[in-house]
């Protein structure tokens, strides 16, 4: 990969609101245009949401279809909604992350290790490595981690597949180390598109990710989950939407040519655009929002323009919202695309921001932790804050703000109810994770909520069973046979997508 060329191209044109000064400084610094930690950090952060290759395949088609955020377009319905395996889709995340992100983040950590002027950059590298690897292991299970990205520096070209439990133990250790390392005297963090080098926000991010991972293992290792959730909470997680980890994008189309990689645009939006208007929200999502009086409905979807029978539209002053039934194509809906709601256009622009980790998520996870008795505070209060933040976070995409009165009415009508806490919290997380269906898919596997619409299509690839992991690339058999075979043996001898990852005890 011509990484130097890639970074120069990206930095020379990338000017993001809130990061402009940072980029101006980088562009004036010739060293920053070489493959050093600053340029590599920029590249990695762009990859995580600007890589249209796996955002389209892993986030939209498979995760969005599996978890029933979306339905209607050919790819989302045929492959994600009907659970049909396509090697290119199932392996997109693996191939992209190991080709681009992993080796660069490992390089950042290696270059800054032991350098007193780069303590903060080293810590940021550790946090980024966890963010990158979390996606991988949550989708595939056991994956190369401890030896990943060491092909050039140490000549390890056949890395072992670490057990997922061991990977999670490493995550907790590395996040704790990173949070402790971050300090005002630890040097600047250049090339940072998430927080422009704000160390206090990086510390909160480390703790919030630690909370996410703690709750991810809640069903399989509750004692450790409690320990990690409590530590994350005490050390300080997100305090408001101002702490959200957001990537701001520019209006550039995705380019996956290895010599001209361009991740400046939003990769998920690239998928929406590529699907030519066929992507719509599912009926499960629209019905949930509509039937509960959720103010996010109008912020997310447009009113339909025709009745479901194709004749006539809504009455004057009447807004009707409908989604596409999971497993159905848009052309199968009576009345066609005009009979269902569209995704609001501001979510489908190459300039649309991408939300990686949110205050809403942290509060909803704390609600569950409080319900379990793991952290102090009221589960109902955390839940209320999480839902309210979930409504307000949509403003970052360009959605008009919901009135506080409408939010208060919703919160009063739909409080956390004893006996249904886990389902309510998990369902709200499902809504909060909209546009990051990868996280929604993982949390659904952990909790079993929300209850999805049964897929009864006769041509379903699994007989209607939702896949529980993605399968390894088949060429791993040739490239890394011994380690691949050991990992498959731990899956019961089958590299398929109906096996379960370690933390999936649901």
How much is the pLDDT for 261?
Answer: 84
Of residues 22 and 198, more confidence is placed in 198
How much is the pLDDT for 33?
Answer: 39
Q: Is the pLDDT of residue 396 over 70?
A: yes
How much is the pLDDT for 314?
Answer: 57
pTM: 0.93
Query: Tokens standing for 342?
Result: 């569209």
Q: Is the peptide bond preceding residue 400 cis, with omega within 30 degrees of 0?
A: no
* Residue with tokens 């998928």, as numbered in its chain: 271
Say which DSSP state 333 is in: S
Q: Is the pLDDT of residue 455 over 60?
A: yes
Q: How confident is the model at residue 119 (pLDDT cuts 50, 70, 90)?
A: very high
How much is the pLDDT for 130?
Answer: 98
Give per-residue pLDDT as tens, 272-287.
999 998 999 999 999 9
How much is the pLDDT for 405?
Answer: 98
SS3 state at 445: helix
Instruction: Give domain limits for the chain.
Output: 3-269+351-447
Contact 295, 402 (CB under 8 A): yes
Question: Average pLDDT of 3-21?
Answer: 43
Q: What percent of the chain has pLDDT over 90?
A: 87
Nearest to 107 by CA among 154, 72, 70, 54: 154
How much is the pLDDT for 28?
Answer: 42
Instruction: Report the alpha-carbon distance of residue 92 to residue 77 in Å, rounded.
Output: 18
Q: E-assigned strands of 162-206?
A: none
Give per-residue pLDDT as tens, 482-496.
999 999 999 999 999
Of residues 317 and 267, more confidence is placed in 267
Q: Is the pLDDT of residue 259 over 90?
A: no
Nearest to 236 by CA among 362, 373, 365, 355: 362
How much is the pLDDT for 315?
Answer: 59
Q: Is the pLDDT of residue 29 over 70?
A: no
Of residues 27 and 133, more confidence is placed in 133
Q: How confident is the model at residue 16 (pLDDT cuts 50, 70, 90)?
A: very low
Q: How confident is the model at residue 4 (pLDDT cuts 50, 70, 90)?
A: very low
CATH of domain 3-269+351-447: 1.25.40.390
Distances (CA, A) of 20 to 28, 39, 179: 12, 15, 26
**Mean of per-residue pLDDT scores for the chain:** 92
């Amino acid at each position: 990969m011509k990484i130097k060329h890639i970074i120069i191209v990206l930095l020379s044109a990338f000017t993001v609101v809130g990061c402009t000064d940072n980029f101006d400084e980088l562009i004036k610094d010739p060293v920053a245009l070489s493959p050093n930690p600053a340029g590599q950090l920029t590249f990695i952060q762009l990859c995580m949401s600007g890589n249209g290759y796996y955002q389209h395949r892993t986030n939209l088609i498979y995760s969005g279809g599996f978890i029933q955020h979306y339905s209607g377009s050919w790819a989302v319905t045929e492959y994600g909604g009907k659970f049909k395996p396509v090697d290119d889709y199932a392996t997109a995340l693996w191939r992209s992350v190991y080709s681009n992100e992993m080796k660069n983040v490992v390089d950042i950590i290696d270059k800054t290790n032991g350098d007193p002027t780069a303590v903060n950059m080293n810590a940021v590298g550790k946090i980024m490595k966890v963010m990158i690897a979390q996606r991988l292991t949550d989708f595939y299970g056991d994956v190369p981690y401890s030896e990943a990205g060491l092909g050039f520096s140490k000549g390890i070209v056949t890395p072992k597949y670490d057990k997922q439990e061991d990977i999670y133990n490493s995550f907790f250790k590395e996040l704790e180390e990173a949070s402790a390392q971050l300090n005002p005297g630890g040097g600047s963090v250049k090339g940072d598109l998430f927080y422009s080098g704000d160390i206090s926000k990086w510390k909160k991010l480390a703790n919030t990710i630690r909370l996410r991972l703690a709750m991810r293992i809640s069903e399989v290792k509750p004692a450790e989950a409690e320990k990690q959730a409590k530590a994350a909470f005490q050390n300080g997680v997100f305090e408001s939407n101002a702490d959200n980890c957001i990537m701001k994008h520019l209006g550039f189309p995705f380019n996956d040519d290895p010599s001209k990689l361009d991740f400046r645009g939003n990769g998920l939006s690239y998928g929406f655009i590529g699907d030519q208007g066929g992507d719509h929200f599912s009926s499960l999502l629209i019905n949930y929002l509509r039937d509960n009086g959720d103010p996010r409905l109008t912020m997310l979807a447009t009113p339909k323009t025709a009745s479901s029978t194709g004749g006539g539209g809504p009455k004057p002053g009447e807004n009707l919202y409908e989604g596409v039934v999971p497993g159905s194509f848009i052309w199968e809906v009576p009345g066609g695309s005009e009979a269902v709601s569209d995704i609001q256009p501001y979510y489908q622009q190459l300039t649309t921001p991408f939300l990686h980790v949110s205050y809403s998520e942290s509060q909803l996870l704390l609600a569950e932790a409080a319900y379990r008795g793991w952290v102090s505070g009221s589960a109902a209060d955390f839940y209320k804050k999480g839902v309210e933040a979930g409504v307000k976070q949509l403003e970052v995409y360009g959605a008009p703000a919901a009135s506080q009165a409408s939010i208060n009415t919703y919160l009063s009508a739909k409080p956390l109810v004893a006996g249904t806490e886990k389902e309510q919290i998990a369902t709200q997380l499902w809504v909060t994770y909209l546009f990051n269906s990868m996280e929604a898919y993982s949390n659904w596997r952990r909790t079993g909520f929300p209850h999805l619409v049964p897929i009864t299509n006769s041509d379903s690839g699994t007989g209607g069973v939702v896949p529980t992991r993605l399968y390894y690339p088949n060429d791993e058999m040739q490239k890394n046979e011994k380690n691949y075979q050991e990992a498959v043996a731990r899956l019961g001898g089958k590299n398929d997508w109906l096996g379960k990852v370690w933390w999936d005890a649901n």
